[in-house]
C-alpha cells in the first residue's frame, strides 16, 4: 500500500509550476532588457539566456524563437496597460473627473521604468517593420480603444456632442504622449513632476471638453 500523500504531490506540482512561471517571467524580463539595450536584430537567444542565467535550451522550452518572445512582450505591455488604466463610463460622475483620472493613469503608466523599456523595444522593431506594428495593434494605440468606448458612451447619454470619435481620442493620446513618452524616449527628458502632471491633465481635459463637450458637462 502506498504511503504517498496526494496533498504533498499536489503541493510539489504547484511548486514546480510556480518555478516554471518564474523562469518564464525572468526570461521575458531579460529579453526586454537585452532588446532595449541592443535592439531586436542584434540580440541573440544566447545573450538572453546568459542575461537570465539559464541555458539556451531553457529559453527555447518557453519561447520557440525571438519572434515568439517579441509577441509575448507586446502582450505583456497590453496586459499591463489594461490593468493600470481602467476607464469605465459613469453617468453619475463629471466627464472632467473621469477623463482626468484616465489621463493621470496614462501618464503614470508611461513614466514607469518597465513601460519605458517595453516602449523602446516595440518602437525599435516597428520602425523597421511598420506592418508588424499594424498586425499587433491594429489601427488603435494601447489606450485609444478604451477611450473611444468611453466617448461613445458619453455621446449616447448626450454629454458629448457629435464629432469624429477616433480623431478626438487620438488627440488626447497624442497630447499625453507629447509630454510623457516622446521627450523621454528621444531626448532622455525627465518625467513630468507632480505639478507638471496636474498642469498637463488640467489643460488636456479642458481642451477636450471645451471642444467636444456640452455646456453642462464642460467641467
Question: In terms of domains, do 114 and 132 share one?
Answer: yes
- pLDDT for residue 9 is more than 70: no
- Which domain-ending residue is among 64, 88, 110? 64
Question: In terms of domains, do 76 and 53 share one?
Answer: no
- Residues with Cβ within 8 Å of 135's Cβ and at least 6 positions away in sequence, in order, are none
Question: In terms of domains, do 160 and 120 share one?
Answer: yes
56-112 residue pLDDT tens: 999 999 999 999 999 998 888 888 888 888 899 999 999 999 999 999 999 999 999
Number of domains in the chain: 2
> According to the model, what pLDDT value does residue 80 have?
85
> According to the model, what pLDDT value does residue 128 have?
81
Does 119 or 52 have the greater pLDDT score? 52
Per the structure block, which three cell numbers stand in for 44? 541573440
151-186 residue pLDDT tens: 999 999 999 999 999 999 999 999 999 999 999 999
Does 118 or 96 have the greater pLDDT score? 96
C-alpha to C-alpha distance for 216 and 103, rounded to whole angstroms: 21
C-alpha to C-alpha distance for 137 and 169, rounded to whole angstroms: 16
> According to the model, what pLDDT value does residue 84 have?
84
Task: Read off the CATH number of the domain in which 152 is found.
Answer: 1.10.357.10
Question: In terms of domains, do 138 and 55 share one?
Answer: no
Question: In terms of domains, do 43 and 102 share one?
Answer: no
Question: In terms of domains, do 111 and 17 share one?
Answer: no
Q: Which domain holds residue 1?
A: 1-64
Question: In terms of domains, do 178 and 104 share one?
Answer: yes
Question: In terms of domains, do 150 and 131 share one?
Answer: yes
Mean pLDDT value of segment 43-54: 95
Question: In terms of domains, do 28 and 47 share one?
Answer: yes
Q: What angle do CA 111, 115, 50 make, to 5 degrees?
A: 135
- Which domain-ending residue is among 29, 64, 99? 64
> According to the model, what pLDDT value does residue 139 have?
62
Task: Read off the CATH number of the domain in which 46 is found.
Answer: 1.10.10.60
Question: In terms of domains, do 80 and 165 share one?
Answer: yes
Does 219 or 76 have the greater pLDDT score? 76
Amino acid at each position: 500500500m502506498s504511503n504517498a500523500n496526494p496533498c504533498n504531490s499536489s503541493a510539489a506540482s504547484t511548486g514546480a509550476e510556480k518555478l516554471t512561471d518564474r523562469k518564464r517571467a525572468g526570461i521575458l524580463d531579460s529579453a526586454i532588457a537585452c532588446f532595449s539595450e541592443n535592439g531586436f536584430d542584434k540580440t541573440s537567444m544566447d545573450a538572453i539566456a546568459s542575461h537570465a542565467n539559464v541555458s539556451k535550451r531553457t529559453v527555447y522550452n518557453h519561447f520557440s524563437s525571438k519572434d515568439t518572445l517579441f509577441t509575448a512582450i507586446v502582450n505583456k505591455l497590453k496586459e499591463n496597460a489594461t490593468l493600470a488604466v481602467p476607464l469605465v463610463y459613469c453617468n453619475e460622475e463629471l466627464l472632467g473627473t473621469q477623463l482626468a483620472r484616465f489621463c493621470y493613469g496614462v501618464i503614470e503608466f508611461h513614466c514607469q521604468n518597465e513601460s519605458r523599456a517595453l516602449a523602446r523595444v516595440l518602437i525599435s522593431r516597428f520602425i523597421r517593420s511598420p506592418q508588424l506594428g499594424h498586425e499587433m495593434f491594429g489601427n488603435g494605440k494601447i489606450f485609444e480603444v478604451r477611450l473611444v468606448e468611453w466617448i461613445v458612451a458619453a455621446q449616447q447619454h448626450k454629454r458629448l456632442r457629435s464629432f469624429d470619435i477616433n480623431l478626438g481620442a487620438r488627440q488626447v493620446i497624442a497630447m499625453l504622449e507629447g509630454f510623457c513618452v516622446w521627450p523621454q524616449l528621444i531626448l532622455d527628458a525627465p518625467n513630468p513632476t507632480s505639478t507638471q502632471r496636474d498642469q498637463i491633465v488640467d489643460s488636456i481635459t479642458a481642451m477636450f471638453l471645451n471642444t467636444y463637450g456640452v455646456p453642462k458637462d464642460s467641467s
